[in-house]
Amino acid sequence: MARSHRIIPPLTMQEQHRFWSKIKVCGPEQCWLWTAHRQRRGYGTLRLRRHMFLSHRVAYFISSCQDPGNLCVLHSCDVPACCNPNHLWTGTDADNNADMICKRRDRHTALPGMRNGSSRLNDEQIRNIRKLHSSGAETQKLLAKRYGVARVTIWKIVHGLSWKHIANTRSPVPASGEKDFFPNPQTVVDAVEKLCVS
């Protein structure tokens, strides 16, 4: 059954200004990320005249002067928080599902890095985290505090267990005076294999 979307009302200049102020506008081919509230799956939301709207649908509406109606507004970049009109197009639910399957975004395939709607970090921040940690400049605890994420998230990043699509420059030596939050993954695997052999 097709989804029903609320009709987007014509926006005043003040509403449009408020909308665009919540987007980090970059180059014409880059993603323009929604910086305000996001749903759990990463889609931006905007309250407009006592109703909630998805930010990418409003961006499409403003840039094309057409309400998408019951059509889906799809992302060519697959970044749910993106509001760049150059990345948005309309299609049916069937088009959306075909695009999802074609790009392997079904529920059994997690998207890597920034393409994952739950991501709080971007590729540049990941490189910086790994660089700071491997140089011994900052501990995992300080990095977690600086970037507003859990320490286990930093541990997974510096050990190459998450954000695998970005080259890992991790040094095997922890930052000075820091104990590794978790044991080395290979050590755990070796220990388990020894137990299984015995």
Question: pTM for the complete prediction?
Answer: 0.55
Tell me the per-residue pLDDT of 111-163, one tens digit each, with 9 for 90 and over. 566 666 667 788 889 999 999 998 888 899 999 999 988 888 898 888 888 88
Q: What is the mean pLDDT of the chain?
A: 81
Separation of alpha carbons 137 and 1, rounded Å: 54
Domain annotation for the chain: domains and CATH numbers = 13-112 (3.90.75), 123-197 (no CATH)
**pLDDT for the residue 170:** 47
Does residue 172 carry a pLDDT above 50?
no
DSSP 89: E
Residue type, 64: S
- What distance, in Å, lies between the first and last C-alpha atoms of the chain? 56
Q: Where are the beta strands (DSSP E) in the chain?
A: 23-24, 33-34, 45-48, 51-54, 72-75, 88-91
- Those residues with Cβ within 8 angstroms of residue 126's Cβ, 6 or more apart along the chain or in another chain: 113, 157, 163, 166
**pLDDT for the residue 115:** 65
Tell me the per-residue pLDDT of 81-104, one tens digit each, with 9 for 90 and over. 999 999 999 999 888 888 887 776
**Tokens standing for 198?**
């015995």
- Which has more confidence, 161 or 75? 75
